[in-house]
């Protein structure tokens, strides 16, 4: 049980090389679950190794419970880690694997036996204790690796992509199990993944990383609803956010974003402060589930008629692709809406959900429309599944 604080952490492997980590500032409270997420090579695993003490940092400080541990060795940090490859000691039995750290810490054998029994029961691996790692399935090895981490009752758990070697079904099961485990044990956890679904579902806090820089640090909800830039917006969410590049134009004294589907046009009025935005290249960001099928309840919203290019029924939703401003735009509609290719649909947008990004820097400029006064469509037939999920 501990707090973790990273202050301006830097990591470089040589003056001539680009920095691997740049000015990382993160803070999590006791018992929180922090996710480090990003594409491969973004530095998330390096950052985790730095927290563990397996690699030295080049600058800044790492504080556990307010104490700077950046100079201390891994064994003095009281941290346990679960590796992607599990890293079970192949010549030792499951029991010996779990005991290893306890024995090195000179815990009396009776206490060790008790601890092994507790962990084995918790993870339901009692029947595997005498087997060698090579005789276990991937899922079982994963449990043992977790058992080894749990046995020490460390201040912080580190998980380095622990689920990525499992098959799809098992991964989803273990994800839920992990969340249950964390709710039960309430141990501060740092979890590295490249899977944005794991990031969204498991984390109390998420740090999205790219090129050694934390792009955004916040709750999953903040990251999803208010991504700081184009990268975060595109990385989090599946299917990903739609991006429509365009130029804002002035009409009747206010700025509008003009959408064109080829057969119809639609103006999305802008209500945020428009200083300096006129004629500027911007990118509209639109989550697939925020494109609605026009219905009586949503009459006030801007509507556009567009032709269906492709449909992808996924089961819970139907993904419909249309062209807007020559960009392919994905709409996530209810499964009972099954339009044919070539058919035209009336699509609506809630301007208060449409994000505006700067085309050059990729930074989020704000939300296109105001929330005030707009009826929030919550009981539409068209998007029931999406609402339930939220």
Which parts of this chain interact with another protein (CB under 8 A)? 49, 52, 54, 73-75, 79-81, 83-87, 89-92, 100-101, 104-105, 148, 152
Cβ-contact 78, 155 below 8 angstroms? yes
Whole-number Å distance between alpha carbons of 22 and 373: 42
To the nearest whole angstrom, how small is the minimum distance from the Cβ of residue 309 to another protein?
A: 43
Distance CA 2, CA 63 (A): 10
Given the complex with another protein, which of 152 and 171 has the nearer CB atom? 152
| Contact criterion met (CB below 8 Å) for 229 and 216 | yes
Which CB, 82 or 306, lies closer to another protein?
Answer: 82
Helix (H, G, I), strand (E, B) or coil at 22: strand
Q: How far is the CB of 151 from another protein (least distance, A)?
A: 10
DSSP secondary structure letters along 212-249: TEEEEEE-HHHHHHS-SBHHHHHHSSSSPPEEEEEE-E
Report, in Å, the least distance between residue 80 CB and another protein: 6
Kindly state the tokens that stand for 99.
Answer: 């005991």
Structure tokens of 139? 């899922």
Q: For residues 87 and 319, which CB has a smaller minimum distance to another protein in the complex?
A: 87
Write down the residue that tokens 């809630």 correspond to: 350
Indicate the DSSP class of residue 180: H
Beta strands, E only, 238-338: 242-247, 249-251, 254-260, 265-269, 281-286, 291-293, 303-313, 318-324, 327-333
* Nearest residue (CB) to another protein, 132 versus 194: 132
Question: Closer to another protein at the Cβ: 74 or 377?
Answer: 74
Distance of CA 145 to the CA centre of its chain: 23
Minimum CB separation of residue 125 from another protein in Å reads: 17
CB of 22 to another protein, least distance (A): 23
Smallest separation (angstroms) from another protein to the CB of 54: 5
Inter-axis angle of helices 94-104 and 138-151, to 10 degrees? 20
What CA–CA distance (Å, rounded) separates 208 from 197? 13
From CA 300, how far away is CA 295, in angstroms rounded? 10
Reduced to 3 DSSP states, what percent helix, strand and coil does the chain have, rounded to the nearest 5?
30, 35, 40
Nearer to another protein, 12 or 352 (CB): 12
Nearest distance from C-beta of residue 83 to another protein, angstroms: 4
45 vs 242 by CB, closer to another protein: 45
For helices 168-185 and 138-151, angle between their N-to-C axes, nearest 10 degrees: 20
Backbone angles phi, psi at 160, to 5 degrees: -105, 95
Query: 327 in helix, strand or coil?
Result: strand
What is the SS3 assignment for 307?
A: strand
Nearer CB in complex with another protein: 91/376: 91
Of 43 and 382, CB closest to another protein: 43
The nearest distance, CB 91 to another protein, in angstroms, is: 4
Question: Of 133 and 237, which CB lies nearer to another protein in the complex structure?
Answer: 133
* Phi, psi dihedrals of residue 376, rounded to the nearest 5°: -80, 115
Residue 321: name the closest of 350, 351, 312 by CA. Answer: 312
Give least dist CB 89 to another protein, A: 5
The CB-of-46 to another protein minimum distance in angstroms stands at 13
């Amino acid at each position: 049980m501990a707090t973790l604080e990273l202050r301006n952490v830097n990591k470089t492997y040589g003056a001539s090389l680009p920095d691997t980590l740049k000015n990382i500032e993160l803070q999590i409270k006791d018992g929180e679950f922090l996710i480090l997420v990003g594409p491969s090579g973004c530095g998330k695993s390096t950052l985790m190794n730095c927290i563990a003490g397996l690699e030295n940092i080049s600058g800044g400080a790492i504080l556990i419970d307010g104490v700077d541990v950046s100079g201390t060795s891994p064994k003095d940090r009281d941290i346990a880690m679960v590796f992607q490859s599990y890293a079970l000691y192949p010549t030792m039995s499951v029991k010996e694997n779990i005991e290893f750290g306890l024995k090195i810490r000179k815990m009396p054998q009776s206490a060790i036996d008790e601890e092994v029994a507790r962990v084995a029961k918790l993870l339901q691996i009692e029947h595997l204790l005498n087997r060698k790692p090579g005789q276990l399935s991937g899922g079982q090895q994963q449990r043992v690796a977790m058992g080894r981490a749990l046995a020490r009752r460390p201040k912080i758990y580190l998980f380095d992509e622990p689920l990525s070697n499992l098959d799809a079904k098992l991964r989803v099961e273990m994800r839920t199990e992990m969340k249950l485990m964390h709710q039960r044990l309430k141990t501060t956890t740092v979890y590295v993944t490249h899977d944005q679904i794991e990031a969204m579902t498991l984390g109390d806090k998420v740090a999205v990383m790219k090129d050694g820089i934390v792009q955004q640090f916040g709750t999953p909800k903040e990251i999803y609803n208010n991504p700081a830039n184009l990268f975060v917006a595109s990385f989090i969410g599946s299917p990903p956010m739609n991006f429509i590049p365009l130029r804002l134009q002035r009409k009747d004294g206010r700025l509008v974003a003009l959408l064109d589907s080829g057969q119809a046009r639609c103006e999305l009025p802008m209500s945020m402060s428009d200083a300096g935005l006129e004629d500027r290249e911007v990118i509209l960001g639109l989550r697939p589930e925020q494109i609605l099928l026009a219905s009586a309840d949503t009459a006030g919203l801007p509507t556009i008629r567009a032709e269906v290019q492709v449909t992808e029924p996924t089961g819970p939703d139907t993904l419909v692709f249309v062209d807007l401003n020559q960009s392919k735009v994905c709409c996530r509609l209810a499964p009972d809406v099954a339009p044919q290719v070539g058919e035209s649909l009336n699509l609506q947008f809630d301007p208060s959900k449409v994000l505006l990004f700067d085309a050059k820097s990729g930074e989020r400029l704000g939300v296109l429309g105001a929330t005030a006064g707009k009826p929030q469509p919550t009981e539409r037939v068209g998007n029931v599944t999406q609402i339930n999920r939220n």
